[in-house]
C-alpha cells in the first residue's frame, strides 16, 4: 500500500526490465568497502531490485554488464574520467563505457561520499527514464553546506511542524536507534543534504549537557555513513543557565573557557560534529547584545571554541525586537551590515528568506550582496508556516527559484542571490544553504504527500542554486507518483501553479503578514490589539478609508535604501514596481490605476477571486487524475484539496469583507459573492 513512507525512493518496476537487468548484472567495487560504500552498494541493490526485478550480485572484478564503483586512482583500466578532479570530494561522474571490451556503467568519484551520491544519481536517472546505455553525467554541489534545520524540541513537539512529533525519539536514545533514522539519512543523501541541525533554534540549555550529547552522538553515528554531519542549536545563555558561569558576556574569559571546554567535550563524543546554529537577540532570545556586545563578538567567541575542531558557527540574521520601533523589515540589515568583515572565517551569517518572515512572497533580503566580506547562507523555510501548513498544496520550488534568480544589482553586470551564495569570487570561503525541515514522524514524513516535494526541491536547490524548479518537480513526480507522461505533466502543472494560488488568496499584490495571530493559519487582517505592534497585521497592510500598503520608500520607512541603487530606483516608483511587490513598498489610494486598467481595489478583489479559482482548479485537476493514481494517495490528497478550497474561500471572503469595512467600497462588478 502506498502510504508515502518510501518518499521518492520507491523504485517501481521499469517497463524494459530485461534491458536494465542486462546492464546491471553485477556491482563491482575493488577495495574494502567503507560504511559509505556499503550504503551505496545496498542502495543500488535495493533500487535495481525494485526497478529491474533482480538485485545484482556484488563482485570485486569487472564483468560485462557491471556497474562499477571506482574512486580516482582505482579507475578501471582504459576508462578515462576527464575532469574528475574538478568535481571535488562530493561530486561524481556517471558514464556508460566500454572497458577491455566489456560494456559497463561507471560511477566515479574522488571520495566514498561521491560514490554514494553517484549511486543515487544513477538510480534517479534510471527511474526518470534515462536508461543506462548512453549515460554521461557529471555533477558536483555548488554549495558546501546543505543543511536542514529542525525546529524540534526536546519533548518531541516541533515548532511550526505539521508532520506529527519529532522523528528524534529522545527518550529512547541513545540505546534505541530506530530504522527511520537510516531512511532519513538515505532520503537526505539522495539529494546531497550533508548536515542537520537536530534541535530548535529556540533552544534549551539542556541539549548541551552530557546525557544529551550522548543521544546526539548516537544519531551522528547513524547519519555518518550517509555523509551527514550533525549540528546543534546553542542557546546563548547556556553556561549561565546551567550555573557554570556567572555571566554570558562573550568577552568574559570564564565564558570563553566554558565554551572551549564544552566544544572539547562534544568533539570527544562526536569527532566530526558540525558546529552551532544560534538565534540570538531575536524574539526575546538571549544574546551578546544583553551585554552590549555585538553579534560578531558573540559569534567569534563560539567560533574560537570550535575552530580547533574545524567546527563552524551559523549565526542567524533573523533579528528584530519590539523595543526597536523601526520597520521590522530593516532590522537585520541595520544590525548586520555594519559588521561586514568582522566575523571569524568559520562563521556564516544565515539570512532568512525574507526580511519579514517566510511569507508566501517577499522580495529578496537586502543583505544578499550587501556583505561581500562575510559568507552568507540562505535560510529557506520548507515547513509551510505561512502557506497553509501541510493542508494546502503549495510547491515551494518556484518560490525558491524566484529568490535565487533575483538580481541584487550589487555588481555592474548583475549579481543574483544564487551567485552571492555560491561566492565564486572568493573561492575558499564557506558557502551554504539551510532549510527549516518539514519532517516528522507522520507516515508521509512531511504531513502530506505533496509536501515531500518541498523537501526534495530544497535539497536539489541546495545542490544547485541555479537549478530549475519545474525540472525538480518532474523528477519528483516521476519517482513518487507515476512514469505515465500524461500524469506527470498534469501533476507538475498543478505543482507549478500552486504557490501563486496561495499568494493570491492570502496576500496578493505584495501584502504580507495577514495571517491570524500565533498559529498563522487562516486570515486575521483585522487583528490590531496585540501588545507588540509589529505582530499586528494592521501594521503591515495599513489599510484605511483612503488606501492600502506599506510605504517603504523615502516618504515611509525607506527600507528601499537598503537595496542596491538599481533595485531601489526601480522599486521606488509604483509604476516600475512589479505588481507582485506593489503593496510591499507602496501605500496607494484604492482608486490607483493598475497596469491592467483596473483600480487597485478592483484588482485586489480580482486576485483574491483568482486564488480561489486556482484552488478549485487544483481540486478539479486532481479528480481527473483519479484513474492514474493509487487509491490511498488519491484520497489523502483529495481530502486536503477539499480543505484548501474551503479555506481559500474563507481567506478571500474574510479579507475582502474586512478591506470593504475599512474602505467603504462596494464589491466590484463581477466579483464573486461571499459564500
Binding site for ligand GCW (CB under 6 A): 151, 159-160, 201-202, 279, 283, 318, 357-358, 385
Minimum CB distance to ligand GCW, residue 205 (Å): 17
Instruction: Provide the terminal-to-terminal Cα distance of the chain, rounded to the nearest Å.
Output: 38
Cβ atoms 360, 503 nearer than 8 A: yes
Q: Which is nearer to ligand GCW, 29 or 358 (CB)?
A: 358
Q: Which residue has the cell 538580481?
A: 407
Q: Mutual orientation of helices 210-223 and 253-269 as an angle, nearest 10°?
A: 40
What number of other Cβ atoms are within 10 A of residue 610's Cβ?
A: 17
Q: Which is nearer to ligand GCW, 245 or 281 (CB)?
A: 281
Residues in contact with 41: Cβ distance below 8 Å, sequence separation at least 6, in sequence order: 27, 29, 33, 58, 69, 119
Q: Which is nearer to ligand GCW, 155 or 172 (CB)?
A: 155
Torsion sign, CA atoms 177, 179, 180, 182: positive
Minimum CB distance to ligand GCW, residue 2 (Å): 32
Minimum CB distance to ligand GCW, residue 506 (Å): 15
Q: How far is CA 496 from CA 252, 394, 503, 522, 633, in A?
A: 52, 8, 13, 22, 20
Residues in contact with 640: Cβ distance below 8 Å, sequence separation at least 6, in sequence order: 390, 391, 392, 393, 448, 450
Q: Which is nearer to ligand GCW, 151 or 170 (CB)?
A: 151
Query: Can 283 be counted among the known catalytic residues?
Result: yes
Minimum CB distance to ligand GCW, residue 443 (Å): 25
Q: Which is nearer to ligand GCW, 259 or 320 (CB)?
A: 320
Minimum CB distance to ligand GCW, residue 400 (Å): 17
How far is 180 from 193, CA to CA, in rounded Å?
Answer: 17
How far is 534 from 250, CA to CA, in rounded Å?
Answer: 29
Chain CA centroid to CA 274, Å: 18
Cell numbers for 113, please give them: 561520499
- Active-site option among 357, 362, 423, 614: 357
Residues in contact with 450: Cβ distance below 8 Å, sequence separation at least 6, in sequence order: 393, 395, 495, 498, 637, 640
Cβ atoms 346, 313 nearer than 8 A: yes
Q: Which is nearer to ligand GCW, 8 or 151 (CB)?
A: 151
Question: In the β-sheet with 92-99, what is the strand arrangement from edge to edge?
Answer: 57-59, 26-29, 66-71, 102-109, 92-99, 136-139
Furthest CA-CA distance within the chain = 82
Minimum CB distance to ligand GCW, residue 463 (Å): 24
What number of other Cβ atoms are within 10 A of residue 17's Cβ?
A: 14
Query: Can 272 be counted among the known catalytic residues?
Result: no
Minimum CB distance to ligand GCW, residue 277 (Å): 11
Cβ atoms 542, 587 nearer than 8 A: yes
Minimum CB distance to ligand GCW, residue 385 (Å): 6
Cβ atoms 444, 7 nearer than 8 A: no
Q: Which is nearer to ligand GCW, 4 or 195 (CB)?
A: 195
Q: Which is nearer to ligand GCW, 256 or 434 (CB)?
A: 434
| Closest listed residue to residue 103, CA positions, set 51, 133, 65, 69 | 65
Q: Which is nearer to ligand GCW, 141 or 447 (CB)?
A: 447
Cell numbers for 348, please give them: 556564516
Minimum CB distance to ligand GCW, residue 588 (Å): 27
Residue nearest to ligand GCW (CB): 357
Minimum CB distance to ligand GCW, residue 250 (Å): 20
Chain CA centroid to CA 584, Å: 23
Query: Can 2 be counted among the known catalytic residues?
Result: no
Determine the Cα angle at 484 with ends 482 and 487, to 5°. 75
What number of other Cβ atoms are within 10 A of residue 3's Cβ?
A: 11
- Active-site option among 327, 335, 385, 451: 385
Minimum CB distance to ligand GCW, residue 232 (Å): 15
* Phi/psi of residue 635, nearest 5 degrees: -65, -40
Cell numbers for 192, please give them: 546531497
Q: Which is nearer to ligand GCW, 45 or 352 (CB)?
A: 352
* Phi/psi of residue 384, nearest 5 degrees: -105, 65
Chain CA centroid to CA 535, Å: 24
Exposure string of 71-87, with b = 16+ CB inside 10 Å and e = fewer, is beeebbeebebeebeeb
Q: Which residue has the cell 563524543?
A: 269
Q: Which is nearer to ligand GCW, 123 or 198 (CB)?
A: 198
How far is 102 from 331, CA to CA, in rounded Å?
Answer: 63
Minimum CB distance to ligand GCW, residue 430 (Å): 21
Q: Which is nearer to ligand GCW, 142 or 330 (CB)?
A: 330
Residues in contact with 453: Cβ distance below 8 Å, sequence separation at least 6, in sequence order: 395, 397, 473, 476, 477, 480, 495
- Active-site option among 283, 326, 573, 591: 283
Which active-site residues does the annotation give? 283, 357, 385
Amino acid at each position: 500500500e502506498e502510504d508515502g513512507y518510501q518518499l521518492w525512493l520507491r523504485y517501481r518496476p521499469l517497463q524494459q526490465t530485461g534491458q536494465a537487468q542486462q546492464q546491471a548484472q553485477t556491482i563491482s567495487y575493488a577495495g574494502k568497502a567503507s560504511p559509505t560504500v556499503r550504503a551505496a552498494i545496498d542502495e543500488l541493490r535495493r533500487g535495481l531490485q525494485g526497478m529491474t526485478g533482480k538485485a545484482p550480485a556484488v563482485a570485486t572484478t569487472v564483468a560485462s554488464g557491471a556497474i562499477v564503483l571506482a574512486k580516482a586512482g582505482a579507475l578501471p583500466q582504459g576508462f578515462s574520467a576527464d575532469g574528475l578532479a574538478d568535481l571535488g570530494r562530493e561530486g561524481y561522474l556517471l558514464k556508460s563505457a566500454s572497458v577491455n571490451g566489456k560494456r559497463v556503467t561507471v560511477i566515479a568519484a574522488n571520495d566514498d561520499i561521491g560514490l554514494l551520491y553517484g549511486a543515487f544519481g544513477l538510480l534517479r536517472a534510471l527511474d526518470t527514464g534515462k536508461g543506462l546505455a548512453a549515460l554521461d553525467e557529471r555533477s558536483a554541489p555548488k554549495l558546501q553546506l546543505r543543511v536542514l534545520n529542525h525546529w524540534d524540541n526536546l519533548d518531541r513537539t516541533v515548532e511550526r511542524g505539521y508532520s506529527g512529533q519529532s522523528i528524534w525519539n529522545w527518550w529512547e536514545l541513545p540505546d534505541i536507534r530506530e530504522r527511520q533514522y537510516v531512511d532519513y539519512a538515505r532520503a537526505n543523501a539522495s539529494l546531497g543534504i550533508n548536515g542537520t541541525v537536530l534541535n530548535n533554534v529556540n533552544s534549551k540549555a539542556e541539549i548541551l549537557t552530557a546525557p544529551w550529547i550522548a543521544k546526539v552522538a548516537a544519531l551522528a553515528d547513524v547519519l555518518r555513513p550517509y555523509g551527514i554531519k550533525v549540528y546543534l542549536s546553542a542557546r546563548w545563555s547556556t553556561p549561565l543557565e546551567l550555573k557554570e558561569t556567572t555571566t554570558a558576556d562573550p568577552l568574559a574569559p570564564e565564558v570563553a573557557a566554558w565554551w572551549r571546554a564544552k566544544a572539547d567535550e562534544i568533539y570527544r563524543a562526536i569527532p566530526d560534529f558540525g558546529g552551532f546554529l544560534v538565534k540570538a537577540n531575536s524574539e526575546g532570545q538571549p544574546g551578546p547584545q544583553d551585554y552590549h556586545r555585538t553579534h560578531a563578538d558573540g559569534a567569534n567567541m563560539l567560533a574560537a571554541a570550535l575552530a580547533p575542531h574545524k567546527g563552524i558557527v551559523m549565526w542567524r540574521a533573523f533579528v528584530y525586537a519590539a523595543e526597536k520601533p523601526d520597520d521590522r523589515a530593516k532590522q537585520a540589515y541595520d544590525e548586520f551590515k555594519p559588521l561586514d568583515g568582522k566575523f571569524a572565517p568559520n562563521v556564516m551569517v544565515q539570512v532568512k528568506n525574507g526580511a519579514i518572515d517566510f511569507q508566501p512572497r517577499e522580495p529578496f533580503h537586502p543583505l544578499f550582496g550587501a556583505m561581500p566580506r562575510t559568507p552568507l547562507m540562505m535560510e529557506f523555510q520548507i515547513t509551510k508556516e505561512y502557506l497553509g501548513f501541510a493542508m494546502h498544496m503549495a510547491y515551494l520550488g518556484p518560490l525558491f527559484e524566484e529568490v535565487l534568480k533575483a538580481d541584487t544589482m550589487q555588481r555592474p553586470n548583475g549579481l543574483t542571490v544564487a551567485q552571492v551564495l555560491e561566492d565564486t569570487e572568493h573561492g575558499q570561503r564557506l558557502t551554504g544553504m539551510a532549510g527549516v525541515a518539514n519532517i516528522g514522524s507522520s507516515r508521509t514524513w512531511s504531513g502530506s504527500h505533496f509536501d515531500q516535494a518541498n523537501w526534495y526541491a530544497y535539497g536539489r536547490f541546495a545542490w544547485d542554486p541555479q537549478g530549475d524548479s519545474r525540472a525538480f518537480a518532474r523528477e519528483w513526480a516521476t519517482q513518487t507518483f507515476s512514469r505515465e507522461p500524461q500524469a506527470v505533466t498534469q501533476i507538475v502543472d498543478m505543482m507549478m501553479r500552486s504557490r501563486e494560488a496561495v499568494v493570491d488568496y492570502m496576500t496578493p499584490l505584495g501584502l504580507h503578514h495577514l495571517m491570524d495571530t500565533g498559529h498563522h493559519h487562516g486570515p486575521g487582517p483585522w487583528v490590531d490589539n496585540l501588545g507588540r505592534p509589529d505582530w499586528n497585521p494592521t501594521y503591515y497592510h495599513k489599510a484605511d478609508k483612503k488606501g492600502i500598503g506599506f510605504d517603504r520608500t523615502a516618504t515611509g520607512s525607506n527600507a528601499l535604501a537598503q537595496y542596491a541603487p538599481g533595485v531601489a530606483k526601480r522599486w521606488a516608483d509604483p509604476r516600475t514596481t512589479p505588481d507582485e511587490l506593489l503593496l510591499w513598498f507602496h501605500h496607494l489610494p484604492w482608486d490607483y490605476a493598475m497596469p491592467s486598467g483596473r483600480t487597485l481595489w478592483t484588482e485586489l478583489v480580482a486576485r483574491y477571486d483568482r486564488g480561489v479559482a486556482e484552488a478549485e482548479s487544483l481540486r478539479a485537476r486532481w479528480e481527473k487524475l483519479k484513474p492514474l493514481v493509487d487509491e490511498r494517495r488519491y484520497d489523502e490528497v483529495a481530502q486536503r484539496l477539499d480543505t484548501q478550497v474551503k479555506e481559500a474561500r474563507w481567506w478571500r471572503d474574510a479579507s475582502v469583507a474586512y478591506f470593504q469595512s475599512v474602505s467603504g467600497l462596494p464589491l466590484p462588478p463581477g466579483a464573486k459573492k461571499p459564500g
